[in-house]
Structure 1
Amino acid sequence: MPLDAIAETLQAGFSRVTLTDTLKFDCGEDGVIVLADGQVIRTDRDADCTIRISSANLDKLIRGKLNPMTAFAMGKIKISGDMSVAMKLGQLLKG
Structure 2
Amino acid sequence: MNDVIKQALTALAPKVAGGIDGTAKFVIEGEGSIIIDGDSVREGDDDTDVTLTASAETFEGMMNGDVNPTMAFMSGKLKIDGSMSAAMKLASVLG
How far apart, in 2, do the equivalents of 1:80 and 1:56 lie?
20
Partner of 2:77: 76
Give the superposition deviation at 1:38.
Answer: 1.9
Partner of 2:15: 13
Partner of 1:35: 36
TM-score w.r.t. the length of structure 1 is: 0.86
Q: Which secondary structure state, in structure 1, belongs to the residue aligned with residue 30 of structure 2?
A: helix
Which structure's residues are more often strand, by fraction? 2
Give the superposition deviation at 1:22.
Answer: 0.5
Q: How many residues align?
A: 93
TM-score w.r.t. the length of structure 2 is: 0.86
User: Amino acid of the residue matched to residue 60 of structure 2?
Assistant: D
Contact 1:7 1:40 in 2 (8 A): yes
How far apart, in 2, do the equivalents of 1:68 and 1:52 lie?
11
Give the superposition deviation at 1:88.
Answer: 1.4
CA-based RMSD of the aligned residues comes to 1.6
1:2 aligns with 2:28: no
Give the superposition deviation at 1:93.
Answer: 2.3
State percent identity of aligned pairs: 31
Partner of 1:60: 61
